[in-house]
Amino acid sequence: QVQLVESGGGLVQSGGSLRLSCAASGSIFRLDVMGWYRQAPGLQRELVAKITSRGITNYADSVKGRFTISGGNAKNTVYLQMNMLKPEDTGVYYCAATEIGLDYWGKGTRVTVSS
């Protein structure tokens, strides 16, 4: 089993920045992918960004140029630097990890961007 714990959410004004962190623990062999998803009120959970163990990244179009994902390495941590935040970035952000075809999720951290 892999446990994921997120931190770093909060309330920020539009145009501001936040940095999310996620630490993985438990019986870890190798996390193939780590990433961040978010769920806004009334909407489905969506991918924000992910990074493979080789450092390959993928971003949602809506966050390209504003968010940066890092980590996902042997330290089993992943970060999401969020700049130029917009009210539409508001939601619960979940850390996710994949190991040998199994997906794991954190409990989420709330991000609120005020206009």
pLDDT single digits (tens) 1-35: 899 999 999 999 999 999 999 999 998 888 899 99
Q: What is the mean pLDDT of the chain?
A: 95
pLDDT single digits (tens) 38-93: 999 899 999 999 999 999 999 999 999 999 999 987 779 999 999 999 999 999 99
Q: Quick check: 105 and 32 in contact, CB under 8 A? A: no
Own/partner long-range contacts of 46-52 (Cβ < 8 Å, ≥24 apart): 48/80, 48/93, 49/80, 50/96, 51/78
pLDDT single digits (tens) 75-88: 799 999 999 999 99
The letter for the amino acid at 6 is E
Query: Angle CA(32)–CA(35)–CA(40) in degrees, nearest 5?
Result: 150
